[in-house]
Amino acid sequence: MNNSIGFSKQKSRIIQISAFFLMASLGTIHAQTIKGTVVGKTNGALPGANISIVDAEAKAVSSLDGDFNLLSPKLGEINIKVEYIGYETKIFPVTIKEGTNDIGYITIAPEEKKNKDEVKDIEQVVISRPNALTQAKAYEIKKNNNAIMEVIAADAIGKLPDRNAAEAVQRVQGVAVARYHGEADQATVRGTPFAWTSALFNGNRLPSANVLGNRSFVLDVIPSELIQFVQVSKAVTPDMDGDAIGGSINFITRTAPAKKTLSVSGAGGYNTFSQNATYNGSIVYGDRFFKNKLGVILSGAIWDRQWGADSFDVTYNTGSANDVQKKSISTIMMKRYMGTRRTIGLNGGLEYKFNANNKIYFRGMFNKFDDIRPVYESYVDYTNSRYQYNFRYSHYQTELYGMELGGEHSISSKLNIDWMLSDYQAKYFLDTPPTNDIKGLPIATFRQKITGGFTNLSSDGKRYWSFDSPNGIGGEYLDYSSDTANPNEVMRPDKLLLSQLVISKLDNNERDKIARVNLKYDINPNISLKIGAKYREKDRNSSYGYNAVFVPTTTSLLTLSQLTTTDAPKGTAFLNGMNGDYSQYIMNPPTKDQLFQMYSPEFLQQNGFKDFSNAEANATSVYTGEESVFAAYAMAEIKASDKFKIIGGFRNEATRLTLNGAKATKEGTPVTTVISESIVESNYNAFLPMLHLRYSFSPKASLRFAYTRSFIRPNFGDMSPGSSIDNTSNPNRITRGNPDLQPTFSHNFDLMGEYYFNNIGILSGGVFYKKISDIVFSDTSIMNLNGTDYMVTQAKNLQDSNLLGFEMGINKRLDFLPGFWSGFGVEFNYTFIDSSVDVPRTANGVQYFDKTTLPNQSKNLFNAILYYESNKIMVRLAGNYRGKSVETINQNLGPNYYIWSDKNFTIDFSASYDISKKVKLFIELNNLSNESLRLYMGDNKKRVTSNEWYGSRGQLGVRWQIF
């Protein structure tokens, strides 16, 4: 009760403070304050510009909107200097009066390319090409930021064929992405588990409706066209959210431009797998009204594509008592996806400047991702000697929408305040079939008995791959054959019997309401203090599991051929990444209407289906959660000398979590299952000291050091008091929560050096180390319940872990080469990460500690880009590499049964041609290497658990900058 009262009071204080500053007086006296906005002649607002007063100590750096606030030491005429990478230095006089001096927009022009004969130092040659100037924005933000950070500008995102937010950050040094059916959907910094990287929108962590209650946000819902900047922070400062062990990725949405703009783009494309069309379009409009006081921005994007993927999946008899037979094959599944994806994004913003000292803004956004993917699954079940065919009509829907209201106020020449109130919601749900009151994912299962048995079995009668077989019989998966003893005993629609109808429920939503306020006080030109507070109230509702399981009680079963079917989807040949002909496993599936009609009461009654739904599973797979977080921080920025800067302080985050769910217990004689309410409460505090040091050897070279303490909260789904059961897979699966999970903490050390080339390039490198405690991992084991094997997954805490790594990167334009060759450039970054985790395991009464790496962590990451730029042409060939990583840890069986993701290397291409100053033609090609996604078990990559192929895609389009 006392905790609840305390959180309510803290929330109330922040709202009261925010409201106070919103209504603060607009006429406060401001000594000699200079305010303005730095803009490029052809490139909009310029963030990170250096503004100073000639012959004085006063200096400032422009914000992301190009705004700056500079304190003049005297009245009368002074000279202001503005410096920016790739632009001409501008010096101009200003007459300073008492109070606020609003000098409006300061326009600077790109530095013209000099004739090499006119300069003695070739490094003074600066490329004035527009493509190079977009990188200048990112470098200025990175160079002047207190945090160790990488930055991408919107213009740079558009240079590569990256259509969603996750793909936009995959080129960043130290960032790795996860791919789902060929598209990146999650991102992580420095190879750490995905939940260890916080995804932010305008500085606030995004709510997540992830299917299993993970805190990692799925980024494929956000079109890249809505993003203005991406900031990847590798060492956070106290004014940033502290739940970011890997780092944070802050997506900053578009804001009102300095002048009227309207641009549109449109493209059409082709997917080599589905052999079908795609299209993409976007529009951006912005303007200013009422003497530039009111700014407006509107942007929208749509990406519609036909897509497909084939997958070859294997499960093994890991629950066997015989160690050798643990690696024998239980089932083979050959699966095809073929569907439509549609991403729609809308973003709008308003800002109003009452005067130079007071500004308020409003932002709103809506994103929708429809993933329509009928799934066709053909099983060869060696354990039960049968074929199985599953057909499901999947229409997953993801939504992210919300709004924020904020303001920035200068209360005096030394005190500045900003505040924000936001409300965002994420949803992930299924809403079919329409013929049944129970909504979810409809799955129809057909089975056909194999009566003649199998050949090519090992001496123990089990099916293996040859390298695991006791007598070397079995072959390899790329040459897979079912090896039925009777070659005529193949899957047939007139033999496949309708054996089960299931509806899998999915309805997750999460809502975050946030209030925050920051105050900055400049004690003198060399020392600034900053304090702030944030309150977040999170509500989560999760429903994931099986709503209904219908099984026929009659022996007169329907066959697949007796139903209304449609042609199997076309596209590339089935499993053409393998060596055999697998067309025999392609069945004509039921039509969508037929599938939905099968769940109608009339169909179920006429065909003898009875509801065998597991009340226990239904009850325990539903939970609600409320989480309140109050955070406060204090930090100081100290300019110890012209070359040395210190940023130090602390952040404290207090968390209160309550999960409400159900727990099933078996009791009595005879045994009965009792469903009871279960509540999980977790209250903890995170005190996070931080120190950043930056030494500048010159304006172009600096060295940074950072010590930070950060943490990660356990996932909701991992702590849920209940569990979910999947009865359609082979083997059946159980996912259960662990209410006793503890948060993960980390001490982080970073040392990074940066050198900026004159021609808009960079050389950077450094080392980092993390000491981590209470790591959460996903443990997988086999459990036998009532004679049936279940694969059980549950999250657990591990002991301490260490992570050590280094990274380096270079972006260099080869302008020193003669003629045509001077347009070439190279961009390369590499990250090496070595982590160590001890996993306890007990075997024969003896406890062992198995060493492995962090889940999802790759030892090697790199990006390599070769590009050519001229006044009209831009060409880029990009390679992205992510090394192997452990995905699932089997604590009971040890490393030989861990599931690994194999190394992945994709090659993408993009090019553009400026037809005129306003019209650009572009082409984008993805996955030219036709890379597949591979998972395997243990120490042999041929012991595959899943291999998925999804082909290549590309599009051709035009961008028109109307004004």
What residues does 904 pair with on adjacent strands? 882
593 CB-near residues (< 8 Å, 6+ apart):
564
931: pLDDT strictly greater than 90: yes
Q: How far apart are CA 215 and CA 209, in angstroms?
A: 8
Reply yes or no on whether the pLDDT at 105 is more than 60.
yes
* Alpha-carbon distances, residue 60 vs 34, 41, 63, 422 (angstroms): 10, 21, 9, 29
Which residue spans within 525-621 are E strands per DSSP?
Answer: 527-552, 609-611
- Using alpha carbons, list the distances in angstroms from residue 505 to 71, 102, 211, 429, 443: 60, 58, 11, 8, 11
Contact 701, 661 (CB under 8 A): no
Name the most confidently modeled range: 727-731, 798-802, 819-823: 819-823
- Assign 574 a pLDDT band (cuts: 50, 70, 90): very high
Cis peptide before 731 (omega within 30 of 0): yes
Average pLDDT of the residues of the chain: 86
Q: What Cα–Cα distance (Å) separates residue 247 from each residue in 176, 209, 451, 763? A: 12, 21, 56, 21
- Identify the weakest region by mean pLDDT among 94-98, 109-113, 418-422: 109-113
* 403, 420 Cβ separation under 8 angstroms: no
Query: Checking phi first, is residue 873 left (phi over 0); if not, alpha (psi -120 to 50) or beta?
Result: beta
The per-residue pLDDT for 352 is 96
Cβ neighbours of residue 307 under 8 Å, at least 6 residues apart? Answer: 181, 182, 271, 273, 274, 337, 338, 339, 340, 341, 950, 953
Report, as an integer, the average pLDDT of 861-876. 90
- In 3D space, the residue among 759, 792, 790, 761 whose CA is nearest the CA of residue 778 turns out to be 792
Q: What is the pLDDT of residues 259-313, one digit of tens each?
A: 899 999 999 999 999 999 999 899 999 999 999 999 999 999 998 999 999 999 9
> Residue range 664-673: average pLDDT?
58
Report whether pLDDT(826) > 80: yes
Query: What token pair was written down for 506?
Result: 């999915």
Half-sphere exposure of 648 (CA within 13 A, CB side): 8
Supply the pLDDT for residue 668: 55
What residue has token string 């899998």? 504
The answer to whether 97 touches 54, Cβ cutoff 8 Å, is no
Locate 561 and state its tokens.
């051929």
Q: What pLDDT is recorded for position 635?
A: 97
Is the model's pLDDT at 5 over the cut of 80? no
d(CA 278, CA 267): 8
Task: Report pLDDT digits (tens) over 111-141.
Answer: 765 544 444 333 333 444 555 667 788 888 8
d(CA 259, CA 725): 56
Contact 815, 127 (CB under 8 A): yes
Name which of 736, 772, 768, 739 is nearest 753 in CA terms.
768
**Cα Rg of the chain (Å, integer):** 30
At residue 378, the pLDDT reads 97
Task: Quick: pLDDT tens for 516-528.
Answer: 999 999 998 889 9
Q: What pLDDT, on a 0 to 100 scale, did the predictor assign at position 473?
A: 93
Paired tokens of 918: 């306003």
In the chain the first and final C-alpha atoms are separated, in Å, by: 59
Nearest to 38 by CA among 18, 21, 57, 62: 62
**Tokens linked to 933:** 């996604």
Lowest mean pLDDT among 301-315, 723-737, 770-784: 723-737
What mean pLDDT do residues 526-546 have? 91
| Residue 1 pLDDT level (bands cut at 50, 70, 90) | very low
Which whole number is the average pLDDT over 862-869? 91
- Three-state SS letters, 519-534: EEEEEECCEEEEEEEE
CB 366 within 8 A of CB 401: yes
